[in-house]
């Protein structure tokens, strides 16, 4: 069973914006890209992981929406096993 310090989630409109936001988060802090999921209407939800302070720094760096509008964002510290399974499900769908 994998464990994570935290997950960071950022919702944007469009795959291109997801790539831009992910790039900025990876440059801002020591986080790992986990996966992303796209919903109806083209909204993309990007997931990163790492220790709580790194994930918070990564999410905070994009919240200002300098590159694109951020619809929602969250940092989930010490995610539950159910949350880990949801992220794993998103990963499996992208393969």
Domains in the chain: boundaries: 6-94
Superfamily of domain 6-94: BMC (bacterial microcompartment) domain (3.30.70.1710)
Nearest to 28 by CA among 6, 44, 48: 48
State yes or no: pLDDT of 71 exceeds 70.
yes
Q: Is residue 1 pLDDT above 70, yes or no?
A: no
Q: How far apart are CA 56 and CA 49, in angstroms?
A: 10
16 vs 64 pLDDT, higher one: 16
Which two three-digit tokens encode residue 41?
A: 């209407």
Residue 3 has pLDDT above 80, yes or no: no
Over residues 66-72, the mean pLDDT reads 89
| pLDDT > 80? residue 65 | no
Which pTM does this prediction carry? 0.90
User: CB neighbours of 60 closer than 8 A, spacing ≥ 6?
Assistant: none
Per-residue pLDDT of 34-63, as tens digits, reads 999 988 889 999 999 999 999 999 999 999
Q: What is the pLDDT of residue 2?
A: 61
What tokens does 29 get? 């802090």
């Amino acid at each position: 069973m994998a464990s994570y310090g935290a997950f960071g989630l950022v919702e944007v409109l469009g795959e291109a914006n997801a790539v831009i936001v992910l790039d900025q988060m990876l440059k801002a802090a020591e986080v790992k890209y986990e996966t992303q999921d796209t919903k109806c209407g083209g909204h993309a939800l990007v997931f990163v992981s790492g220790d709580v302070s790194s994930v918070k720094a990564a999410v905070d760096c994009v919240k200002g929406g300098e590159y694109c509008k951020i619809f929602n964002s969250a940092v989930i510290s010490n995610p539950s096993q159910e949350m880990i399974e949801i992220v794993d499900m998103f990963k499996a769908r992208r393969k």
